[in-house]
Structure 1
Amino acid sequence: MNHHPETWFGGAERVVFVHAHPDDETIATGGTIAALRGAGKPAGLVTLTRGERGEVTPGPFASLQGTPQLAPHREQELQAAMLMLGVEGHAFLGEPPARQAGLEPRVYEDSGMEWGDDGMAVSAAETGAEALTKAPAAELINDLLYGVLTLECDAIVSYNDEGGYGHPDHVLAHRAARAVAAAIDVPFWEISSDEAAEAYDVTESLDRKIGALRMHGTQLTVIDDETIEHVGGQREPIASVERFMLRAAPILGDA
C-alpha cells in the first residue's frame, strides 16, 4: 500500500485523467486526484462527453432525464465536484483547450449503453449521430492530443481495455488515451481492480472524494459516507484505496 502521493504514478509531476462522463472522475479516481493536489501536484482532467444519455436518480432531478437540460446540469455538477477535488485544468473534448485553434468547437455526445447478459455494458441499440463512438477517430484523437498537450502532463490515466464495466465510451477512452500517451511518450496508467496493481491509500482525501460524490446528485446517492447507490439501485462501497496499473505502449494488433 502506497501512502505517499508524491511517489504515485512513478513520481509524475503532473497527471492528466481522461474520463468518459461527469462523475467517472470522482467515483474511480477522486481520492487520488484530491491526494495529488494535497501533495502540491497538479491534476488535470479531460472529460469526453456530458453524459447526455445517463439515467437520473429518483427525486428532484428526475424530470431532467432525456431532456436537453440534463447536459448543462451535469456540467454544473462536474464543476462543483472538480472544485471539491482540486482539479487544476479541465477541458471537454472538442472545446478549447481540447480542440485545435481555428476549428469550430464540437460536442461529443454520450453514446449510451445497455446491460448485456453477462452483466457487462454493451453498445446501445440506437446511438446518436454525434455520439463519441461515431466520431471520426482522427478528429477525436487530434482533440484529445491538443487537450493533453495544452494541460501538460507526464502521465495519463484512464480506464482499462474493458472500460471498467464495458461501456463503449469507456472502452474508447482507454484506446484514445493510451494512443495519445504513446504518441507523446508518457506513461499510461489504467484504473484497475487487480490485486497486483499499485494500491494508493486515499484515506486522508476521502472526505473530499465524498464531498465531490455528493455533487453528482443526478447520478448517485451517498449513503452514510460509506456507500453510493447508483441510478439502477446498485450499491458500491466508497473506496479508500484506488488501484492503477502501468501499461506498455500499444503495439500493432494490440487492443
Structure 2
Amino acid sequence: MIVSRILVTGSADGLGRAAADSLLSAGHEVVVHARNPERAAGLDALSDRGAHVVVGDFAERDAVRRVAAELNDGKPLDAVIHNAGVWSGPAVMPVNVIAPYLVTALLRGPRRLVYLSSSSHFDGRPSTDGVDWRGGKAGSYSDSKLFVTALAAAVARLRPGVLSNAVDPGWVPTKMGGPNAPDDLELGHRTQEWLASSDDPQALTTGGYWYYGEQLEPHGSVHDEDFQDRLLRTLAEETGTVL
C-alpha cells in the first residue's frame, strides 16, 4: 500500500470522523478539520494517533482561505475528501459549494479529489440564477448537491492529471441524517476512502458518481459542459478566485 496524506473536511463527527478514523487505521497520514476550537478539542483521540488538525469555519470564506494557506505551507496533500456539509439554514451554499470550490482552487498538489454528493441532487435545479452564495438566506440543499456534483465532473474534465469523483454516501444515521436513517453508516464512508487511497484500477478513474462502490448515472446536467462552465464562471465571479 502507498501511504497517502489525506485531508478530510468536516471530520469532527459523522461520516468525516469515520473516514478519518478508518484511514488512520489503514496507515495513512490524515489531516482532520473542525469548524472551531471547541469541536477541534473532540479530535484529540485522532490527533493522539498522528492526525494533523486544522480549524476554520467553512461558512466563512476568509477562514477557508486561511485553512488552504496553512495546508499549502505544510507537507503536500495527496487527496482531499470534501466531506463538510450542512443540511439546512443560511450556510448551505457557503459550506456545501463555496468552500469545496475554494479549497479546490487554492490547494496545491492533491491528485485525488472526492466530493460528497447526495441522491437529493436529482431534485436540484441546474440554474445559478438568484442563488444566494453568501448565506443571507437559506439555500436549497438539493441545488447545493447538484452544484458540487457538477463541480466534481468539471474538475475531472479540466484537470486531466487529477482523479475527481462524487460520492453519494446514502442516508445514514449521523447528526445530519438523524437516528432513524435507513442506510449503513459503515458503508457510508467506505467509497470515499477507497477513491481517495486505493490503487484498485476502478478507484483510479475520474468523473464518476458513486454509491456504495458502484458507479451510477447522475442528474443529466452534471456532465453538461455548458452548465459546468456557467457554474464555474459564477463561482469565480462570486469568490474572485478562478479554478
Q: Is the shorter-chain TM-score for this pair beyond 0.5, marking a shared fold? A: no
Which has the larger share of helix? 2
TM-score (norm: length of structure 2): 0.43
TM-score (norm: length of structure 1): 0.41
Bigger RCO (CA 8 Å, 6+ sep) = 1
